[in-house]
């Protein structure tokens, strides 16, 4: 019985709290969602095949949260227990006090910034804000960290892509495959991204948890705009903002299409009327060629893992290729702070690509801060057909010395 008192003290901790707790993002390690085992005490309790203590199954009865004094008659206590009683009562008392204290503290600390947010353990995400904004948490895994000790830009873009798909899915807008509504599927229409703009204020690192919010709006009469806001789940700091423009294309004829009325009926309820999260980078993207490009990387071919479900190269992979021809001194001493991409053409497994880059630091329209670089990019097939046109901005990594700056300037001289 002493044993059950002890265990019940623990289990009362993890018994499923009321919904007000679940709204609090800053959950203590002890609280956990009831349906999910998150390595907390609850898991361990249930995972054990609970031995019958005194003829009862102690675990299940304790989970209800009340002090369990089942009063079942017990065999004479073993020597071990006899030595323990003071400790266990002390433990129970301490734990109870702690719980009360933590609960108090939780209430004080609760930031009502996103009252609808629920931590969703499997990262499936939730629709918040009247069903228009989709929100999902990602924890940065060790293999998503790149050579810069931060999450790579590809990781961030993957998260954006994932929330976009999950948004469509949870809004019921996903027909077969990724990204086409049921009406679109009937008409063989698909969404195609034409433009993407990303500004990274800070890259998350291993162990960070980011929250990605995404929503859609109309873009002109026949386009769609999808915006993202990435923030640090714990601090609320904005890490990344991104916006993208999508148009509709017939997947058989590969021609652009207007949005048919039936599809408009499906998607318009989900459009938010809001300003873009990023001011549009209206500067025209220059097309590089062999004479204007300073760095060229040839013979880039898609690997099997670069292909998406449609056997086209995943949009995110283009970014990696674009960076392949960025000069190494910049890659090593600077980090990508902003990127604008125009998608022109798809490519598949058999394509052979070339990546061209020019560093332009004397850009008159976008005044460059000290130490920053602008680059122009082009990804094209060997026959010259354009795949992606882009521009990137780079800022010095935090602890870089000026020596690198000199090296970069010297190289360009």
Task: List binders of other proteins among 289-308 (CB under 8 A).
Answer: 299, 303-305, 307-308
User: Considering only residues 74-103, where is the footprint of other proteins by CB under 8 A?
Assistant: 78, 80-81, 83-84, 87, 91, 94-95, 97-98, 101-102
| Closest to other proteins by CB, 2 or 249 | 2
User: 312 catalytic, yes or no?
Assistant: yes
Contact residue for other proteins among 16, 22, 37, 407 (CB under 8 A): 37
Identified catalytic residue from 54, 250, 310, 366: 310
Please list the alpha-helical segments (H only) found in 152-232.
153-170, 182-186
107 lies in the site for other proteins, by CB under 8 A:
no
Q: Is the dihedral of CA 145, 299, 308, 229 positive or negative?
A: positive
| Closest to other proteins by CB, 257 or 333 | 333
CB 161 within 8 A of CB 222: no
Q: Angle at Cα 380 formed by Cα 279 and Cα 161, nearest 5°? A: 45
Backbone angles phi, psi at 60, to 5 degrees: -65, -35
Tell me the CB-side half-sphere exposure of residue 161, using CA atoms within 13 A. Answer: 16
Backbone angles phi, psi at 92, to 5 degrees: -60, -40
Identified catalytic residue from 168, 297, 347, 375: 347
User: 347 catalytic, yes or no?
Assistant: yes
CB 375 within 8 A of CB 322: no
Contact residue for other proteins among 19, 73, 112, 122 (CB under 8 A): 122
Please provide the DSSP assignment of 237-265 as one string.
-EEEEEEEEEEEEETTT--EEPPPHHHHH
User: Considering only residues 316-335, where is the footprint of other proteins by CB under 8 A?
Assistant: 316, 320, 323-324, 331
User: Considering only residues 146-185, where is the footprint of other proteins by CB under 8 A?
Assistant: 146-147, 149, 152, 154, 158, 161-162, 165-166, 178
| Closest to other proteins by CB, 165 or 185 | 165
205 lies in the site for other proteins, by CB under 8 A:
yes
Say whether 306 sits in a helix, a strand or coil.
Answer: helix
- What is each CA distance from 201 to 229, 297, 409, in whole angstroms? 11, 28, 25
Say whether 299 sits in a helix, a strand or coil.
Answer: strand
Q: Given the rule CB under 8 A, which of 132-140, 190-198, 221-229, 380-388 is the region that contacts other proteins?
A: 132-140
Q: How many residues bind other proteins (CB under 8 A)?
A: 84
| Closest to other proteins by CB, 127 or 165 | 165
Q: Given the rule CB under 8 A, which of 22-30, 283-291, 374-382, 395-403 is the region that contacts other proteins?
A: 22-30
Start-to-end Cα distance in the chain = 82
Contact residue for other proteins among 72, 127, 128, 209 (CB under 8 A): 209
214 lies in the site for other proteins, by CB under 8 A:
no
Tokens for 70?
């089942």
User: Considering only residues 339-398, where is the footprint of other proteins by CB under 8 A?
Assistant: 349
| Closest to other proteins by CB, 140 or 224 | 140
Identified catalytic residue from 312, 363, 366, 404: 312
In whole angstroms, the minimum distance from the beta carbon of 351 to other proteins comes to 14
User: Considering only residues 224-283, where is the footprint of other proteins by CB under 8 A?
Assistant: 233-234
β-bridge partners, 225: 217, 245
Q: Is the dihedral of CA 69, 70, 71, 75 positive or negative?
A: negative
> So which residues are the catalytic ones?
310, 312, 347
């Amino acid at each position: 019985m002493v044993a059950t008192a002890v265990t019940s003290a623990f289990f009362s901790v993890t018994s499923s709290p009321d919904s007000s707790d679940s709204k609090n993002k800053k959950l203590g390690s002890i609280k956990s969602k009831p349906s999910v085992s998150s390595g907390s005490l609850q898991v361990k309790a249930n995972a054990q095949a609970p031995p019958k203590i005194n003829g009862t199954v102690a675990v299940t009865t304790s989970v209800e949260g009340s002090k369990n004094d089942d009063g079942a008659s017990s065999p004479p206590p073993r020597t071990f227990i006899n030595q323990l009683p003071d400790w266990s009562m002390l433990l129970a008392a301490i734990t109870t006090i702690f719980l009360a204290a933590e609960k108090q503290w939780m209430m004080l600390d609760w930031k009502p910034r996103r009252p609808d947010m629920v931590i969703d353990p499997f990262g499936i995400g939730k629709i918040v804000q009247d069903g228009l904004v989709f929100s999902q948490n990602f924890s940065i895994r060790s293999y998503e960290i790149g050579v810069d000790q931060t999450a790579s830009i590809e990781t961030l873009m993957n998260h954006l892509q994932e929330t976009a798909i999950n948004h469509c899915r949870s809004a019921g807008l996903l027909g077969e495959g990724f990204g086409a509504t049921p009406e679109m599927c009937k008409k063989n229409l698909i969404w195609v991204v034409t433009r993407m703009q990303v500004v990274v204020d800070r890259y998350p690192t291993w162990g960070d948890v980011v929250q990605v919010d995404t929503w859609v709006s109309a873009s002109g009469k026949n386009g769609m705009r999808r915006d993202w806001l990435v923030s640090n789940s714990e601090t609320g700091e904005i890490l990344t903002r991104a916006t993208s423009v999508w148009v509709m294309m017939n997947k058989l004829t590969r021609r652009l299409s207007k949005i048919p009325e039936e599809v408009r009926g499906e998607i318009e309820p989900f459009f938010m009327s809001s300003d873009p999260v990023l001011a549009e980078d209206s500067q025209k993207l220059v097309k590089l060629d062999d004479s204007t490009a300073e760095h060229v990387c040839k013979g880039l071919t898609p690997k099997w893992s670069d292909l998406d479900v449609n056997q086209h190269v995943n949009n995110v992979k283009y970014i990696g290729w674009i960076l392949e021809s960025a000069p190494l001194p910049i890659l090593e001493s600077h980090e990508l702070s902003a990127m604008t991409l125009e998608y022109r053409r798809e490519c598949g497994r058999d394509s052979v690509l070339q990546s061209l880059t020019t560093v332009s630091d004397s850009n008159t329209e976008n005044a460059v801060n000290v130490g920053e670089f602008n680059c122009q990019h082009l990804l094209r097939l060997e026959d010259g057909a354009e795949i992606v046109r882009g521009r990137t901005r780079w800022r010095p990594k935090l602890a870089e010395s000026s020596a690198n700056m000199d090296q970069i300037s010297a190289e360009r001289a």
